[in-house]
């Protein structure tokens, strides 16, 4: 086949343009290609609240995608007994998940509910345009704004409010994720979930009951009272845990709304087979913990090989066990002893020539003079606060514990059989095997550095919750346990 001189010159120029241009130039060319994709038809976007995501895009052509989102300011629960007024996109924290594909033309309508107090807007990191859409979407209560944009780059992107003071709007829960799938869609998996971390700053301390307001001073100093997944303590634990079956592949779309803290996302007992670094096109493999900056996101895929409860955490670990950044993936199915054996053998370890070392004890517990025994209702209320600060991470919000790690307190035969023994464990700690509701647990509980009054309160709360025997534990009884 003969090639005309003009054709040869054009071909050579194209090769030079592709191989001779810089990375930035290639991005421009890619963006131009995406912008040129022709849309075929119109479809209303499916929007979902966390932890759920819309159906995959698959092989559908680029379309005009109609997104209707409402801003709602509403009171919700940050933790047991702790209320907070969230500002939300779509009524949830994080906001509704948006799923698109490269080349879509997104027609976005943002409505500000007439009962709201403040104006808001939206900055979508997937938008190429001034303010990510913020300049076109500033809307007062009782009004709505519509703008459109072309999705040029595949990836997982954060969106958030960008109305001044921007940090305050984000800190009150105004963030979410928008996924732009590549042409042909993402590789299929069995389960997909939506998780987003956020740090919250309240006028009261962590666990302080009642309606809490936003604290600007703490936010500026980055002194978070709560660091949570999906807007509240326990949003992904107990009955709210995400689920899978042995042998299934799981994909997590994980974002970090911030406004301040970087997330060190980790699933205890799993390894990420694939990580879309920062939610983009670069793929990392066999990753233990992945860093997600404030205002960033990532996609992680893994296969669940064995059953059990897998704990999701921010591995800045005090955030997980003390501030709320903890979730659960519950996996059902047959054991796979080739992958994980469980306990194969148990014995006594005799260090230092046969002298069994005892567990280190905490500092002496605080003592507070008892003026008057509280009412039962007051002890239960105060005890719940102590529980959420001290016991929640291991024993969970409804006392269900963590399988194979920490025993349940709910309907616990071990707990109900001997109140003084339970008080002694709180005061002095416990090491070694116990059997609770027919199951063996072998872990360590350190002595709790709390006062006798706090022990009486928290034990009364536990005994009067979750089907236990309703014992009213007095301070005098706590003092008598040595």
CB atoms within 10 A of CB 166: 16
Identify the sign of the CA torsion 315, 366, 201, 382. Answer: positive
Helix spans in 247-343 (H): 318
| Binding-site entries | 120, 125, 160-161, 169, 174, 315
Give dist(CA 202, CA 18) in Å, integer.
Answer: 53
DSSP 343: -
For 456, the token pair is: 């009486």
Q: Is the peptide bond before 442 cis (omega within 30 degrees of 0)?
A: no
For 469, the token pair is: 């025997």
Burial per residue of 252-285, b for 16 or more beta-carbon CB atoms within 10 angstroms, e otherwise = bbbbbbbbbbbbbbbbbebebebbbebbbeeeee
| Binding-site entries for Cu cation | 120, 125, 160-161, 169, 174, 315
Residue 318's contacts (CB-CB under 8 Å, 6 or more residues apart) are: none
For 93, the token pair is: 């924290």
Residue 347's contacts (CB-CB under 8 Å, 6 or more residues apart) are: none
The DSSP bridge pattern shows strands 82-89 and 210-212 to be parallel
First to last CA, the chain: 98
* CB-count burial class (<10 Å; 0-12, 13-18, 19+) for 163: buried
Helix spans in 246-391 (H): 318, 351-354, 376-390
For 201, the token pair is: 């700053």
Give dist(CA 465, CA 457) in Å, integer.
Answer: 12
Name the helix (H) or strand (E) containing 433. Answer: strand 430-436
């Amino acid at each position: 086949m003969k090639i005309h001189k003009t054709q040869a010159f054009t071909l050579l120029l194209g090769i030079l343009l592709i191989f001779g241009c810089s990375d930035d130039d290639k991005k421009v060319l890619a963006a131009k290609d995406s912008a040129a994709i022709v849309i075929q038809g119109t479809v209303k976007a499916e929007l979902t609240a966390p932890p759920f995501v819309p159906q995959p895009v698959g092989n559908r052509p680029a379309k005009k995608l109609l997104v209707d989102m409402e801003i709602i300011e509403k009171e919700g629960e940050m933790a047991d007994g702790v209320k907070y007024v969230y500002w939300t996109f779509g009524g949830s924290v994080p906001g509704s998940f948006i799923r698109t594909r490269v080349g879509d033309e997104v027609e976005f309508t943002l409505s500000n509910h007439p009962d709201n107090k403040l104006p808001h807007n939206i900055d979508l990191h997937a938008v190429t345009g001034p303010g990510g859409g913020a300049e076109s979407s500033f809307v007062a209560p009782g009004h709505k704004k519509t703008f459109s944009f072309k999705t040029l780059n595949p990836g997982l992107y954060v969106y958030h409010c960008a109305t001044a003071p921007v940090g305050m709007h984000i800190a009150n829960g105004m963030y979410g994720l928008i996924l732009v799938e590549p042409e042909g869609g993402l590789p299929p998996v069995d389960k997909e979930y939506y998780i987003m971390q956020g740090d919250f700053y309240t006028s009261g301390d962590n666990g302080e009951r009642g309606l809490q307001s936003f604290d600007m001073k703490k936010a500026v100093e980055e002194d978070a009272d709560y660091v949570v997944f999906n807007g509240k303590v326990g949003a992904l634990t107990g009955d709210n845990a995400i689920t899978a079956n042995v042998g299934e592949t799981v994909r997590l779309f994980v974002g970090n709304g911030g406004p301040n803290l970087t997330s060190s996302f980790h699933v205890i007992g799993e390894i990420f087979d694939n990580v879309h670094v920062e939610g983009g096109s670069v793929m990392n493999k066999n990753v233990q913990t992945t860093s997600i900056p404030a205002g960033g996101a990532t996609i992680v895929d893994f296969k669940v090989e064995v059953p059990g409860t897998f704990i999701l955490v921010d591995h800045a670990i005090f955030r997980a066990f003390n501030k709320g950044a903890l979730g659960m993936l519950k996996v059902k199915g047959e054991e796979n002893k080739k992958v994980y054996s469980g306990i194969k053998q148990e014995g006594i370890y005799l260090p230092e020539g046969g002298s069994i070392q005892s567990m280190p004890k905490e500092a002496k517990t605080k003592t507070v003079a008892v003026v008057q025994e509280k009412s039962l209702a007051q002890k239960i209320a105060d005890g719940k606060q102590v529980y959420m600060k001290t016991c929640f991470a291991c024993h969970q919000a409804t006392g269900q514990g963590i399988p194979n790690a920490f025993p349940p307190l709910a309907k616990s035969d071990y707990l109900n059989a001997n109140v003084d023994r339970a008080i002694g464990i709180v005061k002095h700690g416990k090491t070694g095997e116990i059997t609770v509701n027919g199951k063996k647990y072998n872990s360590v509980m350190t002595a709790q550095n709390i006062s006798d009054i706090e022990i009486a309160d928290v034990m009364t709360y536990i005994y009067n919750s979750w089907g236990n025997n309703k014992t009213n534990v007095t301070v005098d009884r706590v003092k008598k346990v040595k």
